[in-house]
Structure 1
Amino acid sequence: MLAYTLKRILTMVPTLLAASILIFIIIELPEGDYISNQIAYLRSTGEQSSIEKLLYLRSEFALDRPFWQRYLIWLGAMPGPSGFNGLLQGYWGWSFEHQRPVIEVLGSTLPLTILLNFSSMIFIYAVAFPIGIYSAARQYSWGDHGFTLLGYIGLATPNFLLALLMMYFANRWFGLSIGGLMAPQFIGAPLSLEKVGSILSHLIIPTIVIGTSGTAAMIRRLRANMLGELRRHYVITARAKGMGETALLIKYPLRVAVNPFIADIGNLIPSMVSGSVIVSVVLNLPTVGPVLLSALKSQDQFLSAFILMFISSLTLIGMLISDLLLGLLDPRIRKVGFKFKRSNNQLSSHREDNNGVSPK
């Protein structure tokens, strides 16, 4: 298992490098950048002094250099002007829109984004698995029909509409003002037990809103996979031998049906980040979604590029977690590489025995 883990971690390095190239190309595709747009605007208004400052920033951050040099400087593989560092040196870049380093713009946003995504994933799996197993084991029962109806409603209702409905009813029935991930008095305050409690209480509504569609989709898929496994002969044989229904469901069909959902952990993270942008705007959530939307609109390339790299890193971490969990649940997955290597060695030995020489 250790060799399998190290192999998966090593494959993340070239994947991140390829992702950084694609991200930088996509960011550079639109014509111009933040500074060139500001220069064009200031020339139309006749403010020459501000134009000189922007031209200095353009040279300071190597925006006047060729594409490949800008990429290497941003990555940190090439020294930039005036000691400008890149990602490999731990420098995230400069936000032209906010006039601050990217690390200051996203300092408190990244942990809250990770916390919100983690809580949404826990909600999705904690709710979907019991309901999916129950619907498969009690097919066509009243409970199955009820959960099926709720699943269709969850799939058909947009997240932002659900957020608006929950905001309205919470204010109408309970007099609560839903918004943000903490009470206003804790914004900018040092971490304390009261602040943690405020964050946890404010996480409930965003977690439900963001996780509803994923939960509904997972319930339907898990139910279909479980029904396919419950009709197999090994399940019928185990039931005929007197094995308890609960133990039978957990030990056999669930272990087989759960593999696709463990593999979906890596895909679930970016989909939640991208799908929660409008929800974050509606609920006033301090996550990277609204910041990324604003950075893309203003062509703030360093800020938007780092956020996309952050999402790519989350995706790779999620894929690593899913691969490790799949390796623990199904030993065939982590041993397939070693079996392939052993088969090649056996084939080489067989050829050497037959021909008397080692194959080239």
Structure 2
Amino acid sequence: MINPIQIGPYTLPNNLFLAPMAGVTDRPFRQLCRKLGAGMAVSEMITANKALWTSKKSLLRANHDGEPEPRSVQIAGADPHMMAEAARHNVAQGAHIIDINMGCPAKKVCNAMAGSALLAHETLVADILEAVVSAVSVPVTLKIRTGSDRENKNGVRIAQIAEQAGIQALAVHGRTRADLYRGDAEYETIAEIKSRIHIPVIANGDIDCPEKAHFVLSKTGADGLMIGRAAQGNPWIFQQILHYLQTGTHLPAPAIDDVRDILITHLKTLYDFYGEYSGVRMARKHIAWYSKGLRDGNAFRQEMNQLEDPAQQLAFTAAFFTQLAQAQQKDTLAA
């Protein structure tokens, strides 16, 4: 089930994708997930609004220095001309693949008639896709949901429009716009989409363990999987899924020392990327995800949120994981 995916001239090393997530999939996290097994990591969403391209946030989101090829940049907007211009701009900045966001359900995005709000307007979808594909020489991919709501699941039709427009791969989240992230993702619509088009289809939604990955691939017939929230604080999920799909066996969970080393490396890259002040603040949410479910994790997070200095964060993190390792060793001896 680990079949390489071809997107334009690029053959990806495997069929696992890190989903684009605003405020999460920055360059440090993308690089980490690629190192730990993701075959592709799509950037955070960049607006098609030209006036915002030089903002600090947009410049950071567009920073791909040192990332392996191919580099995929996601753009979002509702105007075909602006989307085409955004695509050209990001290709000029080094994007190898342009990804179009028609899957985000966030109110701020949908209120601007972008993201998954576009799914209710098939003619506009076609206009945007055709404009972007015509504007650039690099492959263009698309991320969608199954429809606007459960009474209006037009994912199959959108997928056919995408293929006709020249989209070279399609990621489908198994929820509608109205569902947000509530309830369980459904995969029947993804399976139907896969059966009706001939470009690679990437299944997305609730893929949080190796067994679920195997199930979703089997259920949908998809060419690949896209993993989002399950990678937060758990970037080694890609290694675990790859190993399971290749061998049918499980990798052992990472040892406490390994989690500590991955987290500390991640924190250092955040400080380098954002600077000390912003890096410390960006690090807090990642620290919370890494420590979720760990012994004394709540107290650790509360204390960590009070620290203002990178050296303090690093020292406190190292001390916390040393304490965890010692407690684990005592439990083992007691058993």
TM range (shorter): under 0.3
Structure that is richer in helix per residue: 1
Structure that is richer in strand per residue: 2
TM-score when scaled to structure 2? 0.23
TM-score when scaled to structure 1? 0.22
* Higher CA-based Rg: 1
